[in-house]
């Protein structure tokens, strides 16, 4: 006997789902209302505690400047020592997983949401998503856009204004629209003390 999956389960798994499912609409509305309140908090510690209450998982040291926006929050997983500057948007219908020691400059956008190319199918309300995975020690430049399904390796630097449409390996600097490798990085060995 086949188990019937909820629209939320299908959404998070990256399958076709109906975005106007009443449960999903209510969750997005709740996030929108609460984010309006949280983004108005001027005390950094209080604001970050409130943001963390929505996240799927996070390290102890996470700092997010206002205004931060997301669809649900529970599909966002942030590693230790994460920093996001002003006005970042993470559309998290599928998981967004970010490693340790990562930084996002102002206006970074990560989109897991996608829509059918066919106009009739798109107008039916069916959507789908693809997860985004960012390795450790990455730096995403201002106003960069990370598209659905992208995986970035460790130590990747994304140039400001880039549109990242495909995945890249460890130790590269990428930039442009669409982003491409502009140089490789040879990390310095940490000195033993």
Report the catalytic residues.
Answer: 115
Helix axes 44-52, 22-39, angle to 10 degrees: 170
Peptide bond into 77 cis (omega under 30): no
Residue 91 pairs with which residues in a beta bridge? 111
**Rounded alpha-carbon distances, angstroms, from residue 63 to 48, 78, 79, 131:** 6, 10, 11, 22
**Rounded alpha-carbon distances, angstroms, from residue 180 to 104, 118, 138, 151, 183:** 19, 28, 16, 14, 9
3-state secondary structure of 46: helix
**Rounded alpha-carbon distances, angstroms, from residue 190 to 81, 101, 146, 152:** 18, 15, 30, 22
**Euclidean distance between CA atoms 127 and 11, whole angstroms:** 8
């Amino acid at each position: 006997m086949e188990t019937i999956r909820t629209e939320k389960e299908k959404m998070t798994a990256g399958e076709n789902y109906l975005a106007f499912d009443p449960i999903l609409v209510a969750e997005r509305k709740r996030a929108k209302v609460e984010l309006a309140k949280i983004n108005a908090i001027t005390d950094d510690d209080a604001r970050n505690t409130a943001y963390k209450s929505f996240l799927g998982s996070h390290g102890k040291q996470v700092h997010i400047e206002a205004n931060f926006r997301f669809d649900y929050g529970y599909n966002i997983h942030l590693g230790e020592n994460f920093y996001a500057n002003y006005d970042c948007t993470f559309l998290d219908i599928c998981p967004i997983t970010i490693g340790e020691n990562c930084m996002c400059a102002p206006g970074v956008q990560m989109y897991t949401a996608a829509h059918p190319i066919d106009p009739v199918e798109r107008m039916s309300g069916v959507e789908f998503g693809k997860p985004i995975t960012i390795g450790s020690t990455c730096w995403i430049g201002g106003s960069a856009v990370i598209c659905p399904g992208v995986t970035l390796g460790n130590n990747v630097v994304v140039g400001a204004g880039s549109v990242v449409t495909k995945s890249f390996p460890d130790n590269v600097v990428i930039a442009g629209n669409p982003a491409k490798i502009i140089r490789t990085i040879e990390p310095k060995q940490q000195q033993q003390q």
